[in-house]
A = this chain, B = another copy of it.
Amino acid sequence: MPGRPGLRIGLIGAGFMGKAHAIGFATARTAFDLPMDIELRTVADITEEAAAAAAGKFGFARWTGDWRTMVRDPEIDLIDITAPNALHREMALAAIAAGKHVYCEKPLATNVPDAREMADAAEARGVKTQVGFNYLCNPVLRLAKEMIAAGELGRIRSYRGLHCEDYMADPGSPFGFRHEPEGGGALADIGSHALATAEFLLGPVAEVMGDCATVIAERPDGRGGRRRVEVDDIARAFLRFESGATGSVEASWVATGRKMQHDFEVYGSEGSLAFSQERLNELRFYSAADAPGRRGFRRIEAAPEHPPYGNFCVAPGHQIGFNDLKAIEVAGFVDALAGLGPEPFGFRGGLRIQTLVEAIRRSSAERRWIGASTR
């Protein structure tokens, strides 16, 4: 679209999430009428060679093995961080210092002080930020939030959220950065998604009671030995919301057979919702207002009535995929950068999730309820 301002991207990291972001950029440009013109300027990876390969594949014009140089490049507007979690802080702070907007994969940081430092720095410098809680971008989650806000379920009474997968179910899978005592564990890795969804739908949590368990006590250290695991494989929490509703979340990365059980159920006085990310294009809705004898959970399929589904397909029920959620995330952030709306989920939001994660972890360790109110 001639005349649109440009948005020059510098991507750090070309792994699983780096590719998802690259597809997200490519799709967002085509599917949305973006107010800015995304330019894939530079990709940085651990080596020049890896970066060069990524540039070719993902369509970046330049590449580098040195992210530190890239974040200071005056021809880059936005730094996109998909590197390992422990590096997020340093990278983001450098980018912020250079006046760049920052798009960072979740979790924002490995601890609350780091996350707070990052959020404070961005606000102080006046740059805009985004953390990659992409499940929130799902059109049917937005529908759920809208229905709750509009009172279609009546007064909300109860919530149950999950995020269970099985990618760490095998005791033979080696100790990695996700098992590091600081920042590691199923709760931080995927429970964070469950917490983000819970607050997205029901508003702030006031108090938590956690129960974390380590199921696989040791893992191969990749050097022929074994290393003790201290972080949680399974984490559960009771939640008291500021609204008065009660609920729970559960995270597990040892849930054999589950690949994407990011699910929730919300019960209100007049209706209920049920969702599973296993069928991410469907929302189930029970309305007590339906006629007697005709009530039941109805399966609403994502359709153009549920923005921004229509940006992907004008026909209902054709379904979007995981990478499309990233494209929606990108489009929302670009709108914010162009001044068309608030940051969808900025560093302040990432800090909030980290705060909840640590409250649950501490609650579990101390075996008592912990306050987590935003008030």
| Interface size bracket, A side | 35 or more
A324 on the interface (CB 8 Å rule)?
yes
In contact, A313 and B20 (Cβ under 8 angstroms)? yes
**How many Å from the CB of A197 to the closest CB on chain B?**
16
Q: Are A286 and B29 within 8 A (Cβ)?
A: no
Contact of A312 among B56, B287, B323 (CB under 8 A): B323
Q: Is the CB of A301 within 8 A of B305?
A: no
Nearest chain-B residue to A257 (Cβ)? B286
A167 partner residues in chain B, CB cutoff 8 A = 315
Residue in contact with A252 in the complex, picked from B2, B57, B158, B316, CB distance below 8 Å: B158
Q: Residue A121 at the B interface, CB < 8 A? A: no
A267 partner residues in chain B, CB cutoff 8 A = 252, 254-258
Does A228 have its Cβ within 8 Å of any Cβ on chain B? no
A30-B19, A294-B285, A298-B298 known; A1-B322 Cβ under 8 A: no
Least CB distance from A34 to B in Å reads: 9
Contacting B at CB under 8 A, from A237-264, are 238, 246, 248, 250, 252, 254-260
- Among the 9-residue stretches A64-72, A177-185, A271-279, the one with 4 or more Cβ atoms under 8 Å from chain B is A271-279
CB atoms of A320 and B317 under 8 A apart: no
A27 touches B23 (CB 8 A): yes
Chain B proximity mask over A132-162: 1 for CB below 8 Å, otherwise 0:
0000000000010000000001100110100
What residues on B are CB-neighbors of A215 within 8 Å? 157-158
Contact of A160 (CB < 8 Å), options: B153, B238, B250, B319: B250
> Which chain B positions have C-beta within 8 A of A154?
256
What is the minimal beta-carbon distance from A186 to any residue of chain B, in angstroms?
11
For the complex, is A303 an interface residue (Cβ under 8 Å from B)? yes
Supply 20 further A-B pairs (C-beta < 8 A) apart from A19-B30, A256-B288: A1-B56, A23-B27, A30-B57, A158-B234, A165-B315, A169-B269, A236-B238, A254-B267, A255-B267, A257-B272, A257-B295, A259-B301, A278-B301, A280-B319, A284-B296, A285-B294, A285-B296, A297-B298, A312-B322, A313-B323
Some 27 contacts from A to B, beta carbons below 8 A apart, are A22-B30, A29-B59, A143-B293, A157-B233, A157-B254, A158-B215, A158-B254, A165-B317, A209-B209, A211-B238, A211-B248, A234-B246, A236-B246, A257-B272, A257-B286, A257-B297, A259-B301, A259-B318, A260-B315, A260-B318, A285-B294, A286-B298, A290-B298, A298-B299, A318-B321, A318-B322, A321-B324
- Interface residues of chain A, those whose CB is within 8 Å of chain B, are 1-2, 16, 19-20, 22-23, 26-27, 29-31, 33, 53, 56-59, 143, 153-154, 157-158, 160, 165, 167, 169, 171, 209, 211, 213, 215, 233-234, 236, 238, 246, 248, 250, 252, 254-260, 267-272, 278-281, 284-288, 290, 292-301, 303, 305-306, 312-324, 367-369
